[in-house]
Chains A and B, each alone.
Chain A
């Protein structure tokens, strides 16, 4: 799967550190970040990083028919997580976990992983995946 270099490069810091937007008016934290609060429409927002926040698993899906370039990751597990303090909802790949270990409310933490790569010679795109806490 080919990803254009400029957008991947522009978003690298947000991807590595889970940059989100916190609305100063309604208090919601939203990921991915945007200039406008998607909850209340306010432009009075600030950037925050969620990389140090643990999260709980809200729901997940297990994908057996993975798209091109993800054959070695089958089954691909994607989860929706809610961070514990800021209550932001994040869609992210789940890693270091077996399908039978998944359960609603599972405590997880963000880690840097290879999210995708462009064949053997192209760029490697790093980003955040969530794994169960190493130490509960």
Chain B
């Protein structure tokens, strides 16, 4: 029995801020070709409010996951927070959320960094920690108020959202893990140095040598490990930096777009980095039926990808309605101007 098979997802939850900006505004302001948003297949992106950050968004996603799991927060033995937009450079975000949710003090808590994939690595480690008996439950959160240099093409998609999973024993799970695999290399596709406000990216490295190579690598490893084939999956959820890459990588793997579309959230809110693939999983779990199998493949620059096979159980049905769904947050939206977006995301320099 693989360690993964002893574990599963007890609760899941997401959060999307209310505020959105129309990508046409960004194209107009910076003089981009007006078809740029169409080529990215993204219409709007979510913008965190002036009183929001990765911690507050992660808190709400985790609260939703806790409501679904129905467990005592004090039994959670690890709170792992994946982000690249920590409110503090030094002072863990994980402890703030752990304290606010009543998980402290008998727990591990830390922040993880691997661009958009930090939370996914935490999921693999959480599987190991639960399977070994080191902890009973682990809370993994992926949350980002993604930054982009104003006027850079990344600004079209860098957005804000969070997703949390509670991982625990398979016999309590709404969906269990069958297997997982990772694929990691040193690739200079995207980075941010100390004291640099915004990330930079190696234009030509974004697609083939980074996103596609690593996701295909991880998924093929998963297929090798399990003997599963593309047709064995009902849903496929990939890291979604824009609306087109997940469809293209699915095609490369022989997976039809119909299996990708239910978990494709980026066209409506942009790329929420550590929550990007996970919010797709969250949306799929919101509507999945017992017995269905989900392929999940998050990616992070630098670069690496993971692939998971997840099978939905009967328990999913009783938990779907216990907390707000991704669809609820997608419907709650209010468009704001570029000026308000710039103020909310602190793109305007002030003396404070």
Residues of B within 8 A of A126 (CB): 55-56, 96, 100
Within 8 A of B (CB), among A66-121: 69, 71-73, 93, 95-96, 98, 111-115, 119-120
**Which residues of A are found within 8 Å of B17, using beta-carbon distances?**
96
Q: A93: which B residues are within 8 A, CB to CB?
A: 51
Decide: A113 and B334 in contact? CB cutoff 8 A. Answer: no
Residue interface mask A42-74, B partner, CB < 8 A = 1: 000000000000000000000000000101110
Residue count of chain B within 8 Å CB distance of chain A: 25
Find out whether the CB atom of B343 lies under 8 angstroms from the CB atom of A112.
no
A98–B100 contact, CB under 8 A? no
- Shortest distance between the CB of B170 and any CB in chain A (Å): 28
Determine chain B's interface SS by DSSP, over half rule.
loop
Chain B positions within 8 Å of A95 at CB level: 49, 51
A12 interface residue per 8 A CB criterion: yes
- In the complex the two chains form, is A98's CB within 8 Å of B334's CB? yes
**B50 in the interface, Cβ–Cβ < 8 Å?**
yes
Residues of A near B53 (CB, < 8 A) are: 114, 124
Write out the residue numbers on chain A whose beta carbons fall within 8 Å of the beta carbon of B99: 12-13, 16
Interface residues as binary, B1-35 with A (CB distance below 8 Å gives 1, 0 otherwise): 00000000000000001100000000000000000
Task: Show 17 A/B contacts (Cβ-Cβ < 8 Å), sorted by A.
Answer: A13-B99, A16-B100, A69-B352, A71-B350, A73-B51, A96-B49, A98-B334, A112-B60, A113-B49, A113-B56, A115-B51, A120-B352, A126-B56, A126-B96, A131-B18, A134-B332, A135-B332
* A interface residue numbers (CB < 8 A to B): 12-13, 16-17, 69, 71-73, 93, 95-96, 98, 111-115, 119-120, 124, 126, 129, 131, 134-135
Which residues of B pack against A, CB within 8 Å? 17-18, 49-53, 55-56, 59-60, 87-88, 96, 99-100, 102, 324, 328-329, 332, 334, 343, 350, 352
